[in-house]
Structure 1
Protein backbone atom coordinates (compact mmCIF):
# COMPACT_ATOMS: atom_id res chain seq x y z
CA UNK A 1 0.00 0.00 0.00
CA UNK A 2 1.39 3.37 -1.01
CA UNK A 3 1.71 5.91 1.78
CA UNK A 4 3.78 8.51 -0.06
CA UNK A 5 3.01 9.26 -3.69
CA UNK A 6 5.28 11.56 -5.70
CA UNK A 7 3.42 13.21 -8.58
CA UNK A 8 5.54 14.51 -11.46
CA UNK A 9 3.88 17.60 -12.93
CA UNK A 10 4.76 19.45 -16.12
CA UNK A 11 3.08 22.19 -18.14
CA UNK A 12 0.96 20.01 -20.42
CA UNK A 13 -2.57 20.75 -19.25
CA UNK A 14 -4.38 17.61 -20.40
CA UNK A 15 -1.67 15.25 -19.22
CA UNK A 16 -1.33 17.05 -15.90
CA UNK A 17 -5.02 16.65 -15.18
CA UNK A 18 -4.86 12.89 -15.90
CA UNK A 19 -1.72 12.39 -13.82
CA UNK A 20 -2.97 14.50 -10.93
CA UNK A 21 -6.43 12.89 -10.87
CA UNK A 22 -4.98 9.37 -10.90
CA UNK A 23 -2.61 10.21 -8.05
CA UNK A 24 -5.38 11.93 -6.08
CA UNK A 25 -7.72 8.95 -6.49
CA UNK A 26 -4.97 6.57 -5.35
CA UNK A 27 -4.14 8.74 -2.35
CA UNK A 28 -7.79 8.93 -1.29
CA UNK A 29 -8.21 5.16 -1.68
CA UNK A 30 -5.06 4.29 0.28
CA UNK A 31 -4.77 7.14 2.77
CA UNK A 32 -1.49 8.24 1.21
CA UNK A 33 -0.02 11.72 1.13
CA UNK A 34 1.06 13.47 -2.06
CA UNK A 35 4.10 15.43 -3.03
CA UNK A 36 3.66 17.38 -6.25
CA UNK A 37 6.92 18.03 -8.09
CA UNK A 38 7.56 20.32 -11.03
CA UNK A 39 11.02 20.50 -12.57
CA UNK A 40 12.06 23.64 -14.40
CA UNK A 41 13.94 22.68 -17.54
CA UNK A 42 14.95 24.45 -20.73
CA UNK A 43 13.36 21.52 -22.59
CA UNK A 44 9.94 22.20 -21.10
CA UNK A 45 7.06 23.72 -23.01
CA UNK A 46 7.13 27.54 -22.90
CA UNK A 47 10.51 27.62 -21.15
CA UNK A 48 12.81 30.55 -21.76
CA UNK A 49 15.48 29.89 -24.36
CA UNK A 50 18.76 28.36 -23.14
CA UNK A 51 20.43 31.69 -23.92
CA UNK A 52 18.31 33.27 -21.18
CA UNK A 53 20.50 31.49 -18.65
CA UNK A 54 22.98 34.31 -19.29
CA UNK A 55 22.56 36.56 -16.27
CA UNK A 56 21.00 39.78 -17.52
CA UNK A 57 18.09 41.65 -15.91
CA UNK A 58 15.75 40.77 -18.80
CA UNK A 59 16.68 37.07 -18.71
CA UNK A 60 16.37 36.97 -14.94
CA UNK A 61 12.85 38.39 -15.23
CA UNK A 62 11.90 35.71 -17.81
CA UNK A 63 13.10 32.91 -15.52
CA UNK A 64 11.36 34.42 -12.50
CA UNK A 65 8.09 34.48 -14.46
CA UNK A 66 8.68 30.88 -15.61
CA UNK A 67 9.26 29.83 -11.98
CA UNK A 68 6.19 31.76 -10.81
CA UNK A 69 3.89 30.02 -13.30
CA UNK A 70 5.21 26.65 -12.11
CA UNK A 71 4.64 27.52 -8.44
CA UNK A 72 1.12 28.75 -9.18
CA UNK A 73 0.33 25.49 -10.97
CA UNK A 74 1.63 23.47 -8.03
CA UNK A 75 -0.24 25.61 -5.50
CA UNK A 76 -3.51 25.24 -7.41
CA UNK A 77 -3.20 21.45 -7.59
CA UNK A 78 -2.14 21.23 -3.94
CA UNK A 79 -5.16 23.30 -2.90
CA UNK A 80 -7.43 20.89 -4.79
CA UNK A 81 -5.87 17.85 -3.14
CA UNK A 82 -6.04 19.37 0.34
CA UNK A 83 -9.69 20.31 -0.26
CA UNK A 84 -10.27 16.62 -1.09
CA UNK A 85 -8.76 15.66 2.28
CA UNK A 86 -5.37 14.47 1.04
CA UNK A 87 -2.25 15.72 2.85
CA UNK A 88 -0.22 17.41 0.12
CA UNK A 89 3.02 19.30 -0.24
CA UNK A 90 4.85 20.50 -3.30
CA UNK A 91 8.25 21.54 -4.53
CA UNK A 92 9.85 22.86 -7.68
CA UNK A 93 13.36 22.01 -8.82
CA UNK A 94 15.69 23.03 -11.61
CA UNK A 95 17.65 20.61 -13.77
CA UNK A 96 17.23 17.37 -15.64
CA UNK A 97 13.67 16.23 -14.86
CA UNK A 98 14.33 12.48 -14.73
CA UNK A 99 17.21 12.89 -12.31
CA UNK A 100 15.37 15.38 -10.10
CA UNK A 101 12.27 13.15 -9.95
CA UNK A 102 14.30 10.08 -8.95
CA UNK A 103 16.39 12.03 -6.42
CA UNK A 104 13.27 13.56 -4.86
CA UNK A 105 11.59 10.15 -4.65
CA UNK A 106 14.63 8.79 -2.84
CA UNK A 107 15.09 11.65 -0.36
CA UNK A 108 11.36 11.97 0.37
CA UNK A 109 10.93 8.20 0.72
CA UNK A 110 8.24 7.85 -1.95
CA UNK A 111 6.50 4.50 -2.32
CA UNK A 112 5.17 5.36 -5.77
CA UNK A 113 5.84 7.87 -8.55
CA UNK A 114 2.96 8.86 -10.82
CA UNK A 115 4.15 10.36 -14.09
CA UNK A 116 2.73 11.04 -17.53
CA UNK A 117 3.97 9.45 -20.71
CA UNK A 118 3.53 11.23 -24.03
CA UNK A 119 3.66 8.14 -26.18
CA UNK A 120 6.88 8.94 -28.00
CA UNK A 121 8.73 6.09 -29.63
CA UNK A 122 11.56 5.48 -32.01
CA UNK A 123 13.31 8.54 -33.39
CA UNK A 124 11.04 11.02 -31.56
CA UNK A 125 11.96 9.48 -28.22
CA UNK A 126 15.64 9.39 -29.14
CA UNK A 127 15.70 13.05 -30.17
CA UNK A 128 13.37 14.49 -27.55
CA UNK A 129 14.31 12.13 -24.75
CA UNK A 130 11.90 10.50 -22.41
CA UNK A 131 11.61 11.54 -18.80
CA UNK A 132 9.16 8.72 -18.08
CA UNK A 133 11.53 6.17 -19.62
CA UNK A 134 14.39 7.40 -17.45
CA UNK A 135 12.24 7.41 -14.32
CA UNK A 136 10.87 3.93 -14.98
CA UNK A 137 14.43 2.59 -15.19
CA UNK A 138 16.10 4.49 -12.34
CA UNK A 139 13.39 5.21 -9.77
CA UNK A 140 13.96 3.90 -6.24
CA UNK A 141 10.30 2.83 -6.02
CA UNK A 142 7.37 1.69 -8.15
CA UNK A 143 6.29 3.91 -11.05
CA UNK A 144 2.80 4.35 -12.47
CA UNK A 145 2.91 5.63 -16.05
CA UNK A 146 -0.17 7.48 -17.26
CA UNK A 147 -0.40 7.19 -21.03
CA UNK A 148 -0.99 10.39 -22.93
CA UNK A 149 -2.45 10.67 -26.38
CA UNK A 150 0.04 9.98 -29.15
CA UNK A 151 1.35 13.04 -30.93
CA UNK A 152 -0.70 13.78 -34.04
CA UNK A 153 0.90 14.63 -37.34
CA UNK A 154 -0.70 16.97 -39.83
CA UNK A 155 -2.68 14.88 -42.27
CA UNK A 156 -2.96 11.95 -39.86
CA UNK A 157 -6.27 10.28 -40.69
CA UNK A 158 -7.07 9.96 -36.97
CA UNK A 159 -7.10 13.73 -36.48
CA UNK A 160 -10.35 13.93 -38.42
CA UNK A 161 -12.29 11.60 -36.14
CA UNK A 162 -13.93 12.48 -32.87
CA UNK A 163 -15.48 10.19 -30.29
CA UNK A 164 -18.97 11.08 -29.17
CA UNK A 165 -21.44 9.56 -26.79
CA UNK A 166 -25.19 9.35 -27.28
Structure 2
Protein backbone atom coordinates (compact mmCIF):
# COMPACT_ATOMS: atom_id res chain seq x y z
CA UNK A 1 0.00 0.00 0.00
CA UNK A 2 1.30 3.46 -0.88
CA UNK A 3 2.09 5.99 1.82
CA UNK A 4 1.45 9.60 0.85
CA UNK A 5 2.66 12.48 3.01
CA UNK A 6 0.38 15.52 2.80
CA UNK A 7 1.80 18.78 4.12
CA UNK A 8 -0.86 20.34 6.35
CA UNK A 9 -0.69 23.80 7.89
CA UNK A 10 -4.37 24.49 8.58
CA UNK A 11 -4.85 26.53 5.39
CA UNK A 12 -7.34 26.06 2.57
CA UNK A 13 -4.34 25.40 0.31
CA UNK A 14 -3.35 22.40 2.43
CA UNK A 15 -6.93 21.15 2.40
CA UNK A 16 -6.81 21.29 -1.42
CA UNK A 17 -3.99 18.73 -1.26
CA UNK A 18 -6.04 16.56 1.13
CA UNK A 19 -9.07 16.74 -1.20
CA UNK A 20 -6.84 15.79 -4.16
CA UNK A 21 -5.51 12.72 -2.35
CA UNK A 22 -9.01 11.69 -1.28
CA UNK A 23 -10.23 12.07 -4.87
CA UNK A 24 -7.46 9.75 -6.08
CA UNK A 25 -8.48 7.19 -3.47
CA UNK A 26 -12.21 7.45 -4.21
CA UNK A 27 -12.31 7.76 -7.99
CA UNK A 28 -8.92 6.40 -8.93
CA UNK A 29 -9.07 3.34 -6.73
CA UNK A 30 -5.69 4.20 -5.22
CA UNK A 31 -4.87 2.13 -2.14
CA UNK A 32 -2.97 4.41 0.21
CA UNK A 33 -2.36 5.43 3.77
CA UNK A 34 -2.27 9.20 4.10
CA UNK A 35 0.31 10.69 6.44
CA UNK A 36 -0.83 14.15 7.47
CA UNK A 37 2.34 16.05 8.31
CA UNK A 38 2.60 19.40 10.05
CA UNK A 39 5.77 21.35 10.81
CA UNK A 40 6.08 23.99 13.50
CA UNK A 41 8.93 26.44 13.13
CA UNK A 42 11.35 26.51 16.03
CA UNK A 43 10.75 28.88 18.91
CA UNK A 44 12.70 32.10 19.17
CA UNK A 45 15.19 32.68 21.97
CA UNK A 46 12.79 35.24 23.43
CA UNK A 47 9.96 32.67 23.55
CA UNK A 48 12.23 30.11 25.17
CA UNK A 49 13.55 32.64 27.70
CA UNK A 50 10.15 34.04 28.69
CA UNK A 51 8.01 30.92 28.54
CA UNK A 52 10.41 28.03 29.08
CA UNK A 53 11.20 25.08 26.83
CA UNK A 54 8.48 22.79 28.21
CA UNK A 55 5.73 25.39 27.79
CA UNK A 56 6.88 26.17 24.25
CA UNK A 57 7.00 22.45 23.36
CA UNK A 58 3.50 21.89 24.75
CA UNK A 59 2.17 24.93 22.87
CA UNK A 60 3.74 23.64 19.64
CA UNK A 61 2.10 20.23 20.00
CA UNK A 62 -1.28 21.81 20.77
CA UNK A 63 -0.99 24.23 17.83
CA UNK A 64 0.04 21.42 15.49
CA UNK A 65 -2.86 19.24 16.58
CA UNK A 66 -5.26 22.16 16.10
CA UNK A 67 -3.92 22.90 12.61
CA UNK A 68 -4.24 19.22 11.63
CA UNK A 69 -7.85 18.97 12.84
CA UNK A 70 -9.62 19.98 9.59
CA UNK A 71 -7.52 17.58 7.51
CA UNK A 72 -8.06 14.76 10.01
CA UNK A 73 -11.83 15.36 9.91
CA UNK A 74 -11.88 15.13 6.09
CA UNK A 75 -9.86 11.92 6.01
CA UNK A 76 -11.86 10.30 8.82
CA UNK A 77 -15.13 11.18 7.07
CA UNK A 78 -13.82 9.52 3.91
CA UNK A 79 -12.82 6.40 5.83
CA UNK A 80 -9.27 6.45 4.46
CA UNK A 81 -6.44 5.10 6.64
CA UNK A 82 -4.20 7.85 7.97
CA UNK A 83 -1.52 8.81 10.43
CA UNK A 84 -0.39 12.18 11.72
CA UNK A 85 3.15 13.44 12.12
CA UNK A 86 4.35 16.60 13.83
CA UNK A 87 7.79 18.07 13.20
CA UNK A 88 9.81 21.01 14.44
CA UNK A 89 12.23 23.01 12.32
CA UNK A 90 12.57 24.58 8.87
CA UNK A 91 9.44 23.55 6.98
CA UNK A 92 10.82 22.06 3.74
CA UNK A 93 13.79 20.25 5.30
CA UNK A 94 11.66 18.90 8.14
CA UNK A 95 8.99 17.62 5.74
CA UNK A 96 11.69 15.82 3.74
CA UNK A 97 12.96 14.21 6.97
CA UNK A 98 9.41 13.18 7.85
CA UNK A 99 8.88 11.66 4.39
CA UNK A 100 12.02 9.58 4.79
CA UNK A 101 11.35 8.58 8.40
CA UNK A 102 7.75 7.54 7.65
CA UNK A 103 8.65 5.60 4.49
CA UNK A 104 6.39 7.69 2.26
CA UNK A 105 6.23 7.08 -1.49
CA UNK A 106 4.98 10.55 -2.47
CA UNK A 107 4.43 14.03 -1.08
CA UNK A 108 1.44 16.28 -1.76
CA UNK A 109 1.42 19.99 -0.96
CA UNK A 110 -1.02 22.79 -1.67
CA UNK A 111 0.23 25.97 -3.30
CA UNK A 112 -0.96 29.43 -4.21
CA UNK A 113 0.18 28.89 -7.78
CA UNK A 114 2.00 32.22 -8.05
CA UNK A 115 4.87 30.99 -10.21
CA UNK A 116 7.18 33.30 -12.11
CA UNK A 117 8.78 36.32 -10.54
CA UNK A 118 6.19 36.69 -7.75
CA UNK A 119 6.74 33.11 -6.66
CA UNK A 120 10.52 33.48 -6.78
CA UNK A 121 10.47 36.71 -4.78
CA UNK A 122 8.11 35.39 -2.14
CA UNK A 123 9.81 32.03 -1.91
CA UNK A 124 7.89 28.81 -1.83
CA UNK A 125 7.95 25.73 0.34
CA UNK A 126 6.49 23.77 -2.57
CA UNK A 127 9.35 24.86 -4.84
CA UNK A 128 11.90 23.88 -2.20
CA UNK A 129 10.26 20.48 -1.80
CA UNK A 130 10.32 19.79 -5.54
CA UNK A 131 14.09 20.23 -5.41
CA UNK A 132 14.80 18.54 -2.06
CA UNK A 133 12.37 15.63 -1.89
CA UNK A 134 13.60 12.08 -2.50
CA UNK A 135 10.07 11.10 -3.60
CA UNK A 136 7.74 12.55 -6.26
CA UNK A 137 6.04 15.80 -5.21
CA UNK A 138 2.55 16.74 -6.35
CA UNK A 139 1.87 20.46 -6.07
CA UNK A 140 -1.88 21.05 -5.90
CA UNK A 141 -2.76 24.54 -7.08
CA UNK A 142 -5.51 26.37 -5.26
CA UNK A 143 -8.64 26.54 -7.41
CA UNK A 144 -8.88 30.34 -7.15
CA UNK A 145 -5.24 30.74 -8.26
CA UNK A 146 -6.09 29.76 -11.85
CA UNK A 147 -7.59 33.16 -12.64
CA UNK A 148 -5.04 35.27 -10.76
CA UNK A 149 -2.09 37.13 -12.30
C-alpha separation between the residues in 2 aligned to 1:18 and 1:80? 11
Considering Cα pairs closer than 8 Å and 6+ residues apart, tell me whether 1 or 2 has the greater RCO: 2
Structure 1 segments (4+ residues) deviating >6 Å: none
**Which consecutive residues of structure 1, in runs of 5 or more, have no partner in the other structure?**
43-47, 151-157, 159-166
Bigger Cα Rg: 1
The residue aligned with 2:39 is: 39
Q: Pick closer, same or farther for the CA change 1:118–1:30 going to 2, 3 Å.
A: same
Deviations 1:42-94 (A, max 9, x none): 6xxxxx8x454332228975764454132123244224313322110001111
Q: Pick closer, same or farther for the CA change 1:56–1:120 going to 2, 3 Å.
A: same
**Are the counterparts in 2 of residues 113 and 141 from structure 1 also a CA contact under 8 Å?**
yes
**Are the counterparts in 1 of residues 8 and 71 from structure 2 also a CA contact under 8 Å?**
no
Alignment match of 2:130 (pick from 128, 132, 136): 136
Alignment match of 2:23 (pick from 25, 30, 52): 25
C-alpha separation between the residues in 2 aligned to 1:72 and 1:122? 33
- SS of 2:49's partner is coil
Q: Pick closer, same or farther for the CA change 1:58–1:101 going to 2, 3 Å.
A: closer
C-alpha separation between the residues in 1 aligned to 2:52 and 2:98? 31
- Which structure is higher in helix share? 2
Q: Pick closer, same or farther for the CA change 1:118–1:52 going to 2, 3 Å.
A: farther
Q: TM-score normalized by structure 1?
A: 0.71
Q: Pick closer, same or farther for the CA change 1:54–1:72 going to 2, 3 Å.
A: closer
Matches within 5 A, 1:151-166: none
C-alpha separation between the residues in 2 aligned to 1:52 and 1:26? 44
How many residues are treated as equivalent by the alignment? 145
C-alpha separation between the residues in 1 aligned to 2:14 and 2:46? 26
Cα RMSD over matched residues? 3.0
